[in-house]
Structure 1
């Protein structure tokens, strides 16, 4: 495998593409004149993958009544997707580098649509779980292929900034969109449409992708690192499974700590193997660049912290304020709007001028402040006066994090590493989300139980216990973002990125 010229700061590429020249199929990802249509196709695919993590949550109570499964089994509808998706992302990214991004992108879309149709038509609990796992498998193909297509399609610095601003906004707000869409579909149609709707997204994206994207595999494609693939897939599976079990089992149970230890050992063995493999699955040059490493950590930390907004604020709005699923989704729309604007402005204006160092840490600080502000909520709080202001602050913070971090995480990566670098972004966010959900759920449940000790369980006391659990989750989310502030301040380099340098169609920043 060739060394990546853009992996060292200040490196100079051996060649520069001529203005207006059509990129080679393996680097361009799409015809130059259709790049904005390609962005729309990629955005639709990314929205489908991201919103699927929350849209099904809204449908769960209805699905449970329809299919008759127990509360104990309910978590598997969510966990099956997370396990397959989280553990196979790096493999999916490398397959995109090996086979070609268009083929993997379209295969991922088609498979995701078929799995969604099976899930929507499920007549039993086991069929629904199997469909969700299959969604995760094809999502692991689709997500890194989509981001690597974006990385290799947009080579002009200004256009790349706009594209990543839009893409980052979609990635950051997809969870909130899923809550709204899931509420509408469940309330006015049927829970099964929360799965069927993916078929609509997929068909539109397949038609657009088949027409616009370049075919063919990269000529310098790397070989597959089979031992590395087995180690990291098994390790990530154990980590996600262990944290998923923490929601139902104590931390002292082997199903929790045992899988976490095994997962950590396997991931450590994977890291060791990558230093010795002739064709590593995750070349160390991809992760050891300071800006890139800081971006991966930013995605991991924000993935863990933002569940404090989406998960526990959803509980608060529905259980304390009595909102319907649709009204809950609408309540998040102002936050979505702020995130979209912040993402686009940040990547187009701020980062090119001052770099990621002041922007991403500022986003972490604002997100921490917004989460800390949410701890002031009580059972008598109103939306406009008490919920909306901290929601907007948190949304602004997340908007300053996602788009710059995604752009910097994939900038300067050689074309034959674009898929695995993109997969690493998704892996960090997915594993961070799994860890955040498990930790916050456990801490919130413990806080509620401690509050109820020695008290009569009246409705008022139960409501106060719930508020105690939400407040605890918000405080810990604030702590996650505060840690992210420190990490990104230390790791990001000072100054504007060197966006004018290119390497195989990727911008070196």
Structure 2
């Protein structure tokens, strides 16, 4: 390799220190997303949650994390990404301490709301600090690859860690573990990260901020409500209708705003549209697959929660390897080719699980192999979508771009499970005392898994065709209609 090319792929000591801090924070938040999964029943019994209210431990987090993600991403552009990152880390540390000490449902919900807000603050600012610390090219792709690997490893490992801490100590340590880590990352970030802020600081678009945040909150509430009330509930569809009206209103406001929260030229950019479409598909369908496989492993093969968590360790290993090698693969295929390849691998490995049966040995072997390979493809798609959706965008608007990408991630996690759960339930057959038979669960989960795989493969085909067409048609810079000096956006190649 020529020396100049080798140098381009080497990070300075300062860049490595920055990346360790930022990836440490992203990994921490990924673990937090799933660490309480196994502990929820114990939390409910200890704090006095009813069966109808326990889901708010998860919903409160998802609502605030997804609802405020875009807003805080844009605020980071205006007031400083490092400043927001530090505020978010401090909020997470304090709220985790409160959650661990909680003695009532109300205090627990308040802590989870604060943790969700901390996620909405840190995730886009952390991603923006990565993209602004590494110029567009091989080093940024390598950094984003490691980020994707640790995200998936954190999601997969969080449930295992939560199960171990809950069994050996207490569910309270699922919260307490964040405190020393959060303190260490806060002071490390203070020392090694320099401030990153847009030179042009327009006033915050208040009408746009209100409508998009309220719209996203309503959308996530409607989706999570489908799990509680069902898809046929008037409340579910009423909330989703309100969300649609608010989000359409947001788009209209952005068309007319002098200093929009999310400039329409960015929302309409080919790279942003199709990059985030790929991200939505890979995140929503992978989270749904994890849910469906949990049902299969526990209710069909009769594994316990801890054994189920260990099964997903292979997915985490495949994901870690996918992130490690993503930069080398994208150097050969391009980011679009990487996304199509990643989605195709994820889709095929998911779809073949339609053949799962009641044989325990065969079932375990099939899940281990397919989740390992599928996890590799999943993270390749994650890295590709992040590269595509943040490429060609000025540093001054990286907070917005990474906020959109992070919001896509959170909505994907929220959307996949209730949709695929409803599809699985449609095949359960006759219920006895509200419970499906073992054969019914097998039929339902395998059918939903097949649909899941087909959705991912269809997404790969759509992106392969439309992103190529969009790239060829948008080779010229995309400019704001009212300002010929706006930064250009080009689709990622």
TM-score (norm 1): 0.86
Question: CA offsets, 1:400-452, max 9 Å, x none?
Answer: 2011111221122112211111010011121122121211222223322xx12
Native 8 Å contact 2:32 2:158 kept in 1: yes
Is 1:312 equivalent to 2:287 in the alignment?
A: no
Structure 2: runs of 5+ lacking an equivalent: 1-6, 476-486
Question: CA offsets, 1:155-174, max 9 Å, x none?
Answer: 26222221111011122332
The runs of 4+ residues in structure 1 deviating greater than 4 Å are: 456-459, 506-509
Question: Partner residue of 1:468?
Answer: 443
What's the CA shift for 1:457? Answer: 7.4
After superposing the two structures, state which structure 1 stretch, 480-489 or 147-156, moved more: 480-489
Question: Partner residue of 1:333?
Answer: 313
TM-score (norm 2): 0.89
The CA RMSD over aligned residues, in Å, is 2.5
What's the CA shift for 1:179? Answer: 1.3
Native 8 Å contact 1:356 1:492 kept in 2: no
Counterparts of residues 21-420 of structure 1 (less than 5 Å): 33-155=13-135, 157-215=137-195, 217-347=197-327, 349-382=328-361, 384-420=364-400
Cα distance between partner residues in 1 of 2:450 and 2:147: 29
Q: 1:81 to 1:424 in 2, by over 3 A?
A: same
Q: 1:507 to 1:473 in 2, by over 3 A?
A: closer
Question: Partner residue of 2:478?
Answer: none
What's the CA shift for 1:217? Answer: 4.3
Match of 1:484 among 448, 459, 479: 459
Cα distance between partner residues in 2 of 1:46 and 1:91: 19
What's the CA shift for 1:476? Answer: 2.6
Q: 1:89 to 1:243 in 2, by over 3 A?
A: same
Q: 1:493 to 1:32 in 2, by over 3 A?
A: farther
Cα distance between partner residues in 1 of 2:292 and 2:136: 40
Select the structure with the greater relative contact order (CA < 8 A; seq sep ≥ 6): 1
Question: Partner residue of 2:483?
Answer: none
Q: 1:469 to 1:344 in 2, by over 3 A?
A: same
Structure 1: runs of 5+ lacking an equivalent: 1-19, 21-30
After superposing the two structures, state which structure 1 stretch, 304-313 or 90-99, moved more: 304-313
Cα distance between partner residues in 2 of 1:259 and 1:457: 30
Question: CA offsets, 1:362-412, max 9 Å, x none?
Answer: 221221112112222222232553221221232122022011111221122
Q: 1:260 to 1:458 in 2, by over 3 A?
A: closer
Question: Partner residue of 2:3?
Answer: none
- SS of equivalent residue, structure 1 residue 323: coil
What's the CA shift for 1:33? Answer: 4.0
Question: CA offsets, 1:84-141, max 9 Å, x none?
Answer: 1111001110111111111100100110111111111111112111111111112111
- SS of equivalent residue, structure 1 residue 140: helix
